[in-house]
Structure 1
Amino acid sequence: MSSLSELDAAVVTCRACPRLVAWREEAARVKRRAFLDWEYWARPVPGFGLADAPLAIVGLAPAAHGGNRTGRIFTGDPSGDALYAALYDLGLSSQPTATHRGDGLELYGVRITVPVHCAPPDNRPTTSERDTCRPWLARELELLRPTLRAILAFGGFAWQALLPVLTTAGWQLPNPRPAFGHGAEARLTSPGEGRPLHLVGGYHPSRRNMSTHTLTPTMLRDVLRRGADAAELPPRLHRSRPGS
């Protein structure tokens, strides 16, 4: 797979994890009452965004009635509602809402992906499922590498999934290994390359985190801004809009 478009096309055919295949397809059969007229995607959900993005955002996995329904990551669920509104506020997306794959949404300077591409029961993939899915993430970051300057990891699961992928790819982690936290940052170097890679941690914009105010819209925008600054995105792309 020599391009992200080829990788995305291959990802959606994967059936490597029997539990996840069964769950994503069962969710599509049963559906939620609000989505009875939807034909669910019910396949692995590929990454979304630019092939030359300086900033990668890494989440957890698709939601059973979000990305598993719409076919696009962080689309059609409360996590996506929070994330895309914040991206729009910072000038990193073309619109504040994401409802389906054909809604016209574009990202600016950003690629969004996940360590596990299938919706897991209770939003909890196993470590085995994470590790089975790891080669997809590794290849995606390898293809992004020529332009990639920063990665924003939403949640401890994404942070821990990223560390072995980055070290295998040749990035050198600081010692001791960086611990996850909201606003945590680590600077990774690679022999022979002058440009470091910045890893930024942030709480996942899940319904629970947002409703309990563990993560607020202001906190979400702030950590996204830190990722954008670390990625050296042009200020015009992440300037806050009036009132944000």
Structure 2
Amino acid sequence: MTEYVIPPPPQASLPVSTGEGRFPVRRVFCVGRNYAAHAREMGKDPDREPPFFFMKPADAVIGAAGTIPYPSLTSSFHHEIELVVALGAGGREVAPADALALVWGYGVGVDLTRRDLQDEAKKLSRPWDWAKGFDASAPCTPIRPVAEVGHPDSGEIWLRVNGELRQHGDLKDLIWSVPEVISAISTAVDLAPGDLIYSGTPAGVGPMQPGDVVSGGVAGVAEFTFTVGSADRRPV
């Protein structure tokens, strides 16, 4: 048995809808500007600039329920709802036609963003890590297996803040489909079981304040509700 000089961190994981065990999270890949309308609202031209990838740490993943803390270092805390793809198998240079065979299931997540830090990083041509990879920045619903939900390639995706509709779109409007996203990532790294992919957000991203009630979902996959807490508090 391996001995460690300090206690190893706990395995990041999510519940599954079947109630049997938990889904272990290995890595979190995120797709930027994968809906044309969102790319345009961020001041970009989707016809000239394709989507791209960034990452979050595995332990940024928490349940999309209860209270989510308002993070430090920001006064512009934004929501970005996304279909989440959970891989049960891995591969390298996977063809799009073979990509869905890697998928264990799907969930609905929110790519939480410190927008002011991201804007500053863009101006200075610096990485986005502080803007995207902070604690509790990747809430997600329980993962539902493919046997329950199939492979959703169309359907409503939406998010509300205090009952007001902020984001609304359809999965069919993804610039890169889920198979194409999986294939593209697999050309850069070896995908592995436990990898999560946040597949991109529709237009309408915006700020949240302490006390806001945030709800959202993807038709046929899952829905969630959480409350934005005060700064520097761990999720309840």
Which bracket does the TM-score occupy, shorter chain normalised?
under 0.3
Q: TM-score, normalised by structure 1?
A: 0.25
The higher-RCO structure (CA 8 Å, 6+ apart) is 2
Higher helix share goes to which structure? 1
Q: TM-score, normalised by structure 2?
A: 0.25
Higher strand share goes to which structure? 2
